[in-house]
Amino acid sequence: MAQKQPYDLDKTLQKAGMWRASHMHEGFQAEQKQGTPTGFSILDEQLSGSGWPTDGITELLYEHAGIGEIRLLAPALANLSQQKAGWILWISPPYIPYAPALIAAGIDLTSILVINPKNQTDSLWAMEQALASTSCCAVLAWPKNINDKQVRRLQVASKSGKSLGILFRAIQSVKQASPAELRIELTGNSYSPLVEHSSLDMKIVKRRGGWPTEKFTIDFDDKLHQITPDFSEMAFRNPHKPAPDLVFVDRQSSQDRYGYPLR
Amino acid sequence: MVTHYDNTAQQTLWLSIYLPMLPVEVFTRGLKPEDTSRPIVILAQRKVRFLNPAAHARGINIGSSLDTAFTLSSQVVSFERNEQKEFSTLSHLAQWTYQFTPNVSIRAPDCLLLDISGCLKLFGGLENLKSRIQQGLTKQGYESVLTTNMTPMAALCLATSNRKQQVEKDNTGTDENGSCVAYVTKSLESLPVDCLQVDKKIIESLQQMGIADCKALFALPQSGLNRRFGIYFVDYLQRLLGEKPDPQKFINPEPKFVNDVTFLADINNTASLRFPINRLISELAEFLTARQLATNHLSWSLSHRSHGDRNFNILLANPVNEHDMFMSLTLLKLEQINDVKEIDNLSLAVNNLFPAVNISGDLFHGTPFQQNNSVKGQQQQTDMLLNKLRTRLGPGSCYGLSAANDHRPEKAWKPVRLDQKDYWQPDQIGMTSAPQPARPMMLLSQPKPLPGTCSFSSAGNVTGGASVKTPFQLSSLHSSSRKAKHQLTLLKGPERIDFGWWDEDDLSKVITRDYYVATIDNQGSLLWIFQYSNDKRWYLHGIFS
């Protein structure tokens, strides 16, 4: 019986394929592909390649719609659409993607393609085809239930077609393992009277070349939390009093919505 | 032989394509080899008129009755002769040969005449051209005999003589400098008179006169022949020898493509249609190539004699002529068809034809240096994806988005058909300078009424109304089914939007809406809700996703 060799740490470390977490910031980033900038510097810092991955599946997990899951993607989509890199395909979105809001976010509508497959099989098929074809730069889908094998197929297709796949999934699936490249848990940020901008709490559950992160907050550049001060008086102090016939006033610009200066 | 129609200045050369097995082949082409090895007979008036080699090998002869044929072999497949179909096949083949020369003439029932004097150089000589045509016909499932001569009638005679006996090779040489008449006379000398394309009675009386071959016929004085057989026969002879011009009626290229394949036995699974589909698509691709055309619409029809037709269409994003794309889209569509039990005929029709547009391809196409991002490659990929999606999901399920010239939220966007691309471009002078109020990323197709007793508060915690009685489902995807009371906090608003009085007949129905940005249950979701100005009902209209 051969004598047991003493454990040689240095030798082990020299083996090819050995990756040390402490080396993450030296060189690992360099070998990563440059991602698509997210438009949020806090998020960019957390992602390898400083942006959304250019290929692979990204999962966004959340409970309630309307917390800013598309506003989070909007800067990157605007960037991709202006580069004319290909279609941005929306596969059976739960509601109508609203063109005026997309334009306001800087997205070029001529690169948008929406499809509404009749069933889940067709939408997964369509997503795989779109990801594998090099003609889509981003594919957005809202699968109702999808298992890890299906995600893996999509991941492979996305790698071969070099297009970004984004799955909007329910928060319950955060506990399931998933082969997706990047998984982010999104939580809506409750309204606070102190800030005008809406914000979104996010926690990276899985990413390349890094551990899961703690919760951090990104701020949207909007004024959705800004309160119209005279609002409460008008509609709620006295609900029986008829509402005065007002046009909407944007206080920042002292113009009404038709572009005329306020008297 | 008095006058000589001398055309040595411009030598004409005619190619005759004779299809001896056409009546059989209209039924058997497109079949698998194991099917064509069965004995097949074509009947007219309950007598065998045509048969394939397998039937001949079993001892069946032309003229025997169907009963005899069945006695000799129980496997015999019989068809009633369909002359209409033969003619349509012949016209289709004439269209096919249009790729070689524009001067194609149809000689019913089984011959085609091609003026090939102008295209020999293009196709690299006579032998090359002949082998190309012969191979093309064999590939499509037709046996053919090709003969050439300097007048159309002479070419036909040579072809028909091949029907009677395997005559010596026609020793056509275009380099021969002799006159046309001398050449034709020489080439036809040895042929028997019964291969002339004239009335049977004339041939019989010629034979009774002891004239067996053309050499003897040509030696007779023309005036005597004129008196004995009439002017038409002499006219024919003059055209045959090239003494008189013989104008032919040429076909016009058809503006559409129609072709079909008939099956011997009923086909009951769509998977076995792959082979005949491939054949039809190859023919379509050749048709389009010959005319420099492209198409964006293929109509397929699966039919059976005792059922109705089952039609399906393939719509393409852009007109193309690509065999592989046609094939994969057709197979994709075929996968979805499962309500067809029996098929005995498959047909393809293409009516929408466009002039082909050629984008220069990649110089290194098919090599490791091939560029992936070339314009053509990218365009092909995009078209292929769109075609696949539209074929499987239906043409209406894919659309683009555009803004529209209207301030009402429902009408401020419109779906865009991808073949029209009618995107609305806002003019720069108008509203773009003014800051737009916030709009939600997602719009509900129909405003959804909020439960009448939903509780609302402004951001200043001033409440109105009562608690929610019914659960209010924000979205089918992420809603929780628990019965919860919902509290909506209004943040931003109101934005009054007047509602299209110009679209309504009854002005009393026009109700203005006051839009608000609201948050629900303080969980971070931002909603776009509105209240009618008259009856204060609340609706959800959008989500700030």
What would the two tokens of residue B145 be?
């005999």
Q: List the 173-212 stretch of A: residues with Cβ below 8 A of B.
A: 187-191, 193, 198, 200-201
Among B19-28, B30-39, B411-420, B517-526, which stretch is predicted with the lowest mean pLDDT? Answer: B30-39
Give per-residue pLDDT as tens, B103-129: 888 887 788 888 888 888 888 888 888
Measured between beta carbons, the chain A residues lying within 8 angstroms of B402 are 99, 109
**How far is CA A198 from each of CA A107, A224, B16, B530, B540, rounded to the nearest angstrom?**
20, 6, 82, 20, 20
Q: How far is A225 from chain B (nearest CA, A)?
A: 6
**Residue linked to tokens 């948008």:** A112
Task: Give the gap in angstroms from C-alpha A131 to the nearest C-alpha of chain B.
Answer: 10
- Six-digit token pair at B510? 């026009």
Residues 28-57 of A with CB under 8 A from B: none
Distance of CA B52 to the CA centre of its chain: 30
Percentage of chain A lying above the pLDDT 90 cut: 24
- All residues of chain B having their beta carbon less than 8 Å from the beta carbon of residue A136 are 385
CA B520 to chain centre: 56
Judge whether A247 is closer than 8 Å to chain B, CB to CB. yes
**Distant-in-sequence, close-in-space partners of B378: CB < 8 Å, separation ≥ 6:** A134, A135
Does residue B5 have a pLDDT over 70? no
Residue scoring higher pLDDT (A29 or B390):
B390
Cross-chain Cβ contact B514/A243 below 8 Å = yes
- Number of other residues whose CB lies within 10 A of the CB of residue B266: 12
The pLDDT of residue B120 is: 82
List A residues 57-76 in contact with B (Cβ-Cβ < 8 A): 62-71, 74
For A256, nearest residue in chain B (alpha carbons): B434
The answer to whether residue B153 scores a pLDDT higher than 70 is yes
The reply to whether residue B444 touches residue A95, judged by beta carbons under 8 angstroms, is yes
Residues B52-77 have pLDDT tens digits of 888 888 888 888 888 888 888 888 88
Q: Give residue B372's pLDDT.
A: 56
User: Tell me, what's the pLDDT at B164?
Assistant: 46
Which chain A residues contact residue B453 at CB under 8 A? none
A136 touches chain B (CB under 8 A): yes
Best probe of the B interface among A98, A112, A122, by most B CBs < 10 A, is: A98
How many CA atoms are closer than 13 Å to the CA of B63, on its beta-carbon side?
A: 0
The answer to whether the CB of B457 falls within 8 A of the CB of B488 is yes
On chain B, the residues whose CB falls within 8 A of the CB of A237 are 462
The confidence score (pLDDT) of residue B176 equals: 47
Q: Which residues of A touch B376 (CB under 8 A)?
A: none
Residue A261: closest CA among chain B residues belongs to which residue?
B434
Is the pLDDT at A175 greater than 60? The verdict is: yes
pLDDT, position A245: 47
Full 3-state SS string of A63-124 = CCCCCCHHHHHHHHHHHHHHCCCCEEEEECCCCEECHHHHHHCCCCHHHEEEECCCCHHHHH
Instruction: Find the range with the poorest average confidence among A160-164, B134-138, B156-160.
Output: B156-160
Greater confidence, B420 or A16? B420
From chain A, the residues in CB contact with B495 under 8 A are 248, 257
Number of helices (H), then strands (E), belonging to chain B: the values are 15, 21
- B288 SS3 class: helix
**Average pLDDT over every residue of A160-184:** 90
- CA pair distance B513, B152, nearest whole angstrom: 83
Q: pLDDT at position B322, please?
A: 85
Q: Determine the Cα–Cα distance for residues A69 and B200; give it in Å rounded to an integer.
A: 88
Q: What share of chain A is helix, strand, coil (3-state, %, to 5)?
A: 30, 20, 45
* Stretch B330-351: mean pLDDT: 84
| pLDDT value for B265 | 79
Mutate to test the interface with A, among B414, B448, B472, B478 (most CBs of A within 10 A): B478
Comparison of pLDDT for B340 and A254, the residue scoring more: B340
- Find which of A152-166, B134-148, B171-185 is predicted with most confidence, using mean pLDDT: A152-166
Of the residues B374, B402, B429, B441, the best mutation for testing chain A's interface (the one with the most A CB atoms within 10 Å of its CB) is B441
Q: Where do we find the tokens 């002017």?
A: B231
- Helix (H) or strand (E) holding A35, with range, is none
Cα of A219 to nearest chain B Cα, Å: 13
Long-range Cβ pairs for the range B235-238 (8 Å, 24+): B236/B153, B236/B196, B236/B197, B236/B198, B238/B5
Distance to chain B for A118, nearest Cα, Å: 8
Cβ(A260)–Cβ(A247) below 8 Å: no
Per-residue pLDDT at B467: 32
pLDDT at A25 over 60: no
Per-residue confidence (pLDDT) for residue A183, from 0 to 100? 93
Pick from B492, B494, B473, B475: which is nearest to B483 by CA? B473
Q: Quickly state the pLDDT bin for B228 (edges 50, 70, 90).
A: confident
Residue B489 has pLDDT above 60, yes or no: yes
pLDDT score of B162 = 62
Alpha-carbon span A202 to A188, nearest angstrom: 9
Q: Which residue has the tokens 């931003």?
A: B492
Closest by Cβ to A96, choosing from B443, B458, B531: B443
Q: State the Cα–Cα distance between residues B472 and B467, nearest whole angstrom.
A: 12
CB nearest to B401's CB, from A99, A245, A255: A99
Counted across chains A and B, CB pairs separated by less than 8 A come out at 262
Q: How far is CA B347 from the centre of its chain?
A: 9
Q: Taking CB atoms and an 8 Å limit, are B464 and A239 in contact across chains?
A: yes
pLDDT of residue B454: 65
Interchain CB distance below 8 Å, A236 and B523: no
- Contact list in A for residue B404 (CB cut-off 8 A) is 99
Contact B86, B110 (CB under 8 A): yes
Nearest CB among B436, B441, B533 relative to A70 is that of: B441
Cβ–Cβ gap B389/A71 under 8 Å: no
- How confident is the model over B511-526, as a mean pLDDT? 82
Residues of A in contact with B476 (CB under 8 A): 94
Percent of all residues in chain B with a pLDDT value above 70, rounded to a whole number: 82
Q: To 10 degrees, what angle do helices B200-208 and B222-229 make?
A: 120
Q: At what angle are helices A120-132 and B375-393 packed, to 10 degrees?
A: 170
Residues of A in contact with B491 (CB under 8 A): 191, 224-227
Strands of the sheet with B487-497, listed across from one edge:
A96-97, B442-449, B538-543, B526-532, B513-520, B487-497, B455-458, B463-464
Chain A hits for B441, Cβ within 8 Å: 70-71, 74, 97-98, 101-102, 105
Residues of chain A contacting residue B435, judged by C-beta atoms under 8 Å apart: 250, 252-253, 255
**Orientation angle between helical segments B323-336 and B274-291, nearest 10 degrees:** 140
Question: Which of B436, B457, B524 lies closest to A67 in CB terms?
Answer: B524
Find which of A77-81, B12-16, B71-75, B167-171 is predicted with most confidence, using mean pLDDT.
Answer: A77-81
Q: Which two tokens stand for residue B98?
A: 């249009």
Least Cα distance to B345 among B283, B285, B264, B282 occurs for: B264
Asked whether residue B167 carries a pLDDT value surpassing 50, the answer given is no
Mean pLDDT is lowest, of A73-77, A94-98, A149-153, B165-169, for: B165-169
Cβ distance of B442 and A97 shorter than 8 Å: yes
What's the confidence (pLDDT) of residue B253? 73
Q: Say if the Cβ atoms of A64 and B434 lie within 8 Å.
A: no
Strands B104-107 and B455-458 turn out to be: unpaired
Q: Are A190 and B524 a contacting pair at CB < 8 A?
A: yes
Given an 8 Å threshold on Cβ–Cβ distance, is A227 in contact with B458? yes
Q: How distant is the Cα of A241 from the closest Cα of chain B, in angstroms?
A: 11
Q: Could you read off the pLDDT of B240-275 as tens digits, one per residue?
A: 888 888 888 888 777 788 888 888 778 887 778 888
Residue B172's pLDDT is what? 46
CB contact under 8 A, A188 and B524: yes
Closest approach of A204 to chain B, Cα-based (Å): 19
Q: Is the pLDDT of residue B318 over 60?
A: yes
The pLDDT value given to residue A145: 84
Whether A170 sits inside 8 A of B477 (CB atoms) is: yes
Find the CB nearest A198 among B402, B458, B526: B526
The residue of chain A nearest to residue B398, with distances taken between CA atoms, is A115
Residues from chain A that touch B442, judged by Cβ atoms under 8 A, are 65, 70, 93-98
pLDDT of amino acid A61: 92
Strand spans (E) along A67-131: 87-91, 96-97, 112-115
Tell me what pLDDT residue B480 has: 38
The DSSP line for B363-385 is TTTTSTT--TT-HHHHHHHHHHH
pLDDT of residue B171: 46
- The residue among A63, A92, A95 with the most chain B CBs within 10 A of its CB, best to mutate, is A95
Instruction: Round the average pLDDT of chain B to a whole number and report it.
Output: 77
The per-residue pLDDT for B380 is 76
More confident residue, A80 or B510: A80
CATH architecture type of domain B267-395: 2-Layer Sandwich (3.30)
How far A18 CA lies from chain B's nearest CA (Å)?
A: 33
pLDDT of residue B158: 81
Instruction: Tell whether A262 lies on the interface with B, counting CB pairs under 8 A.
Output: no
Mean pLDDT, residues B495-505: 78
Instruction: List CB contacts of B336: < 8 A, sequence separation 6 or more.
Output: B392
The answer to whether the Cβ–Cβ distance between B478 and A144 falls below 8 Å is no
- Please tell me the predicted confidence (pLDDT) of residue B320: 84
Name the residue among B447, B451, B444 with its Cα closest to residue B472. Answer: B451
- Sorted by where each begins, the domain ranges of chain B are 14-38+76-241, 267-395, 400-431, 440-543
Check whether B195 has a pLDDT greater than 70: yes
Model confidence band, residue B168 (pLDDT cutoffs 50, 70, 90): very low
To the nearest whole Å, the CA of B379 is away from the closest chain A CA by: 8
Structure tokens, B436: 């737009």
- A228, A258, A212, A192: which is closest to A61 by C-alpha? A212
Tell me the domains of chain A and their CATH numbers: 34-219 (3.40.50.300)
Q: What is the structure's pLDDT at A166?
A: 94
Q: Which residue has the tokens 């090709």?
A: B146
CB B43 within 8 A of CB B79: yes
